[in-house]
Structure 1
Amino acid sequence: MIEIGIIGGTGYTAGELIRLIIHHPKVRINSVLSRSKAGEYIHSIHTDLIGEIEDMKFTDSFISNKIDIVFLCSGHGKSIKELKYLHNKVKVIDLSQDFRNMNKSVFQGRKFIYGLPELQKDIIKQSNNIANPGCFATAILLALLPLAKGNLLKNNIHISSITGSTGSGKQISDTNQFSWRNNNISTYKIFKHQHLQEITQTIHKLQKNFSSEIYFIPYRGNFSRGIIATVYTDSNYSLEKNQDIYKIFYKNHPFVKISDINIDMKQVINTNKCILHLMKEKNKIIIISIIDNLIKGASGQAIQNMNLLFNLEETCGLKLKSIRF
């Protein structure tokens, strides 16, 4: 059994990791670290785990050389601080944005690989340290990778995307309280969202001559989880030709599906899937992308990366059912 350690165990992404890992046939949770809740039962924070791991408590430290892989869930800017406590042979999957920038991906001798399996699965398999992509970036990049790979992005890219309140994490703020979110919607960080950096660098990795602009408008939604992104750009190809490009590109990627009919977000909630739907209007190709921000956009993708690191079946522990109604 692969021994798992989790640092930063009280947040949404850690909670999802625990829920998924306890049903994974090849791994075992060794320790879940939370310095603020050390000594308390895990199910006292993640209350849906009552009856699942009743005897396991949060710790304030663990012996990292007895663990095969550590998931860093402490949040942005904190992963760098946690690395110094880890044995250098321990594999690491970081769910923050600390190492997603290719220019800042090496730290204390560790080289972090951008962990989007549909982009570079073979490279991930040969790596030890993974920077898990951001949730918006995952939904948007999966909508764009086939076009970038085919050198088909010729003009500006326009994106509109909405995420649920769990995308903001557990920290209390004015914009993630129920009384503000309920029956409400708003834009934020227009054209300057932090995920734009990883989206742009990935597009350039595949299509080096891309020099147009990417305009991204994010929205806060009045629901708890999920992302739907609408992406459009110029295309001279027919809808059918574009559909063929996408189906061929994702043929060997089990979690990305192409739908010929319109899609809605509930189709992917509680799954590690991304579903794409393509439309053509005049000279614009329109791609709708849906994911669960906490699973394919965070914890599920982290487990997908772990499966690749340990040469397991990519879908192991991730054959999940959506909550349709």
Structure 2
Amino acid sequence: MATGKRFRAAVIGGSGYGGAELIRRLLVHPDVELVRVASVDFVGEPLSAADPALEQVTELVFEGIAPAEAARGVDVVLLGLPHGVAAPAVDAIARAHGGAAPGGMPRIVDMSGDFRLKDAAAYARWYRRDHPCPERLADFVYGLPELDRAAIRAARFVASPGCFATAIELALLPLARAGLLEGVVHVQGITGSSGSGATPSAGTHHPVRAGNLRAYKPLEHQHVPEITEALTRAGARDLELRLVPVSAPLARGILATAFVELPEEWTPARLDALYREAFAGEPFVRVPRRRLPEVAAVSGSNFAEVGVAAGEPRGGRRTVALLGALDNLVKGGAGQAIESMNLMLGLDERASLADPGPWPP
């Protein structure tokens, strides 16, 4: 059925939480028509089999087709596949369509961690497996618009950042650009259960998760190297990130808190001005005026919040806490992937992403 929309999109790996968020946003996109959803689960069933909210919203069904076939005849492919599975899918699409006539190769936005790092050895270290397609690492642009907007616009391949990575990078980006981020930085990140995916596990089972806080992968989380790479490109020096993730009894959201030591002349007012100037004009980053960032304010939306809390000076130094909050499935996941898609296609960056989310969350 013709829709009059300018572009056609396919989603590969659409049965998980990230895929569901991609689908929801694409179905209401003013310029992009979702024409195909590929999955190894629910093949032949309506999309509502994985996301009940899509009941009678769309006639699309999950198709059990190979990535190269799923990418046929579309302008952009968005991948919601797991780490290690996404890279071979990208390679198959590129091999099948890369030699076609100009315009035949679709743009690709990958939500996995397979192409976020430039170093195959670093990938092997943090993801505990050899990279499936190291020859394609150089093709990808890192998809944080607040850092790489111009490069994303020109890209054919984008690696969308991780959820912890996005929250922490946004919280620390102004310091990196100001030359104030150096050495060891300690971070605690608290996250909702949807970040663990749709497949239940012992750590995400509701009786264990509800009413509980539990650290996992302390100092070993796979988002650490991409955060270090991104912030170093922004101006950080000799950065060493010490991240302790904590699972929390909520479905959506991340609150990250990073601790740094700054010279005492960096007063709360001066830091506040630095952050407001850094994010002035950014469509999806807010610096609240009367409170610190919180998950409820961004849940269900593509907005992120950042903020600063500065202690009293001691011995010429001041301890500063930098906070970032976002929805891990939207700005930390599918929403940011669509943001990059919009930039790649020359569309309004805010298309299908401008809603503020529900309240109460």
TM range (shorter): over 0.9
1:99 aligned partner: 115
Q: CA deviation at 1:153?
A: 1.3
Using the alignment, how far apart are the partners of 1:194 and 1:157 within structure 2?
A: 16
Q: Deviations over 1:77-136 (max 9, x none)?
A: 101121243222111000000000022496459701000000110111011100000000
Q: CA deviation at 1:264?
A: 2.1
Would you say the 8 A contact 1:7–1:70 is kept in 2?
yes
* TM-score relative to the length of structure 1: 0.95
Q: CA deviation at 1:245?
A: 1.2
Using the alignment, how far apart are the partners of 1:108 and 1:280 within structure 2?
A: 43
Using the alignment, how far apart are the partners of 1:212 and 1:121 within structure 2?
A: 23
2:126 aligned partner: none
> After the TM superposition, which residues 193-208 of structure 1 pair with which residues of structure 2 at under 5 Å, given as runs?
193-207=221-235
2:283 to 254, 275, 284: 254
**1:275 aligns to 2:299 (yes or no):** no
Q: 1:321 to 1:207 in 2, by over 3 A?
A: closer
Would you say the 8 A contact 2:303–2:356 is kept in 1?
no
Could you tell me which runs of 5 or more consecutive residues in structure 2 were left unpaired when the two chains were aligned.
1-5, 99-104, 121-132, 313-317
Using the alignment, how far apart are the partners of 1:199 and 1:270 within structure 2?
A: 24
1:230 aligned partner: 257
Q: Which moved more, 1:264-273 or 1:100-109?
A: 100-109
Would you say the 8 A contact 1:13–1:294 is kept in 2?
yes
* TM-score relative to the length of structure 2: 0.86
1:298 aligned partner: 333
Would you say the 8 A contact 2:78–2:110 is kept in 1?
yes
Using the alignment, how far apart are the partners of 2:177 and 2:92 within structure 1?
A: 39
Report how many residues are paired: 323
1:74 to 77, 81, 85: 81
Could you tell me which runs of 5 or more consecutive residues in structure 1 were left unpaired when the two chains were aligned.
none
Would you say the 8 A contact 1:17–1:300 is kept in 2?
yes
**1:188 aligns to 2:216 (yes or no):** yes
Q: Deviations over 1:21-77 (max 9, x none)?
A: 111100111100012322111112211101211x21111223524011111111111
**1:264 aligns to 2:294 (yes or no):** yes
Question: 3-state DSSP class of the match of 2:331?
Answer: helix
Q: CA deviation at 1:19?
A: 0.7
Q: 1:109 to 1:153 in 2, by over 3 A?
A: closer
Q: 1:68 to 1:221 in 2, by over 3 A?
A: same
1:316 aligned partner: 351
> After the TM superposition, which residues 47-86 of structure 1 pair with which residues of structure 2 at under 5 Å, given as runs?
47-53=52-58, 55-61=59-65, 62=69, 64-86=71-93
Q: Deviations over 1:247-300 (max 9, x none)?
A: 111113110011122232110001101111211113012112110000000000
